[in-house]
Amino acid sequence: MDELVSLSVNAGCATITLARPQARNALSFELIHALAKVIRDVAARVAAEPDTIRVVVVAGNGKSFCAGMDLKAVLHDPVRMGEMLQQLSLSLLALRQLPVPTIARVQGAAIGGGCGLVVVCDFAVTHPEAKLGYPEVDLGVCPAVVAPWLIKKIGAGPARAMLLLGGTLCGTDALTRGLVTHCVEAAQLDGTVADLAARLMTGGVNAIACTKRFLNELDGSDDESIARAAAELSARVIASPEAQAHLQRHFQIAPPSQPRT
């Protein structure tokens, strides 16, 4: 099977690429595991040789950055679903804790957990037509895993309104609401990301690492217990009859056959 997440390093800039374009890079069990492994590799390399990776770009192959959690495949498998959410939640935490600046390169769509990847990065570049957001409550699902990161990104009040209302935003509105830091024409995405990465690599490695660690400490980013509790809550809500009914309608699949009582 082809790699679901690839890593390339070029002149100090590491690019983590979600490579499941046929499914709009939806976060499947396997993809999340591959992502976790790549993030661990990057963290290990940064720790061993701080000069080799000075900025990390998170990107997605194909038309969309990431369509969100691939719930369909695990809808009737709560154990696997729970593992998947834990792994995603801990991967977001690990990405946040990289001591180098991170940039999300967002084309097409970044939905739910995919938009979690966007807000956990220090910077995010998108284009006006992109679609970003958290439609979890629309599907009867709780956006617990992304909530702590969105609060840190745009503040608790605006995050509350956004998560309770669900839905998605275009790239222009995402910039206004603070979900992304840059919104440029689609043709300029790569150029803007490259310029930003180059600028971020001009600072002192230690100064940047120190600043990022302190930012994480001050805004509570290092709290692993929240990441774990979030995944548990999310899994519990997905397993509930309400969410199962919403999701089955959404995916237009039949409920699992159960003996009638």
Partner 1 sequence: MRLVTASSANGVCTITLSDPARRNALGSLLFEQLESAVGDAHAMAERRELIAVRLCACGPAFCAGFNLQECVDDPHTLAGFVLRLSSLTRALRAMPAVVVAQVHGPALAGGCAIVASCDIVCASEQATFGYPVHRIGVSPAVSLPTLMGSAGCGGARVLTLSGEIVDAQRAAVLGLVHRIAPDEPSLNALVGELLEELRSKGPQALRETKAWLNAIDGTGPAGQFGAAADRVASATAALCTEVESRTLLADAWRRRARTP
Please identify, using beta-carbon distances, which residue of 128 and 166 lies nearer to partner 1: 166
Quote the CA–CA distance of 222 and 220 in Å, as a whole number. 6
Written as six digits, the tokens of 153 are 């990104």
Written as six digits, the tokens of 100 are 């180098």
Q: Within 10 Å of residue 31's Cβ, how many Cβ atoms? A: 21
Give min distance, CB of 158 to partner 1, in A.
5
Tokens 């995010």 belong to 124
At 116, the amino acid letter reads G
**Piece in contact with partner 1 (CB under 8 A), picked from 36-44, 46-54, 161-169, 193-201:** 161-169
Q: Does position 142 bind partner 1 by CB under 8 A?
A: yes
- Among residues 167, 191, 255, 256, the one that binds partner 1 under rule CB under 8 A: 167
**Piece in contact with partner 1 (CB under 8 A), picked from 32-40, 44-52, 122-130, 226-234:** 226-234
Q: Does position 81 bind partner 1 by CB under 8 A?
A: no
Q: What does the DSSP 8-state code read for residue 129?
A: T
**Piece in contact with partner 1 (CB under 8 A), picked from 75-83, 85-93, 103-111, 162-170:** 162-170
Give min distance, CB of 232 to partner 1, in A.
11
212-247 burial, b at 16+ Cβ within 10 Å, e below that, comes to beeebeeeebeeeebbeebbeebbebbeeeebbebb
Which positions lie near partner 1, rule CB under 8 A? 136-144, 147-148, 151, 154-161, 163-167, 226, 230, 233, 237, 240, 242-243, 246
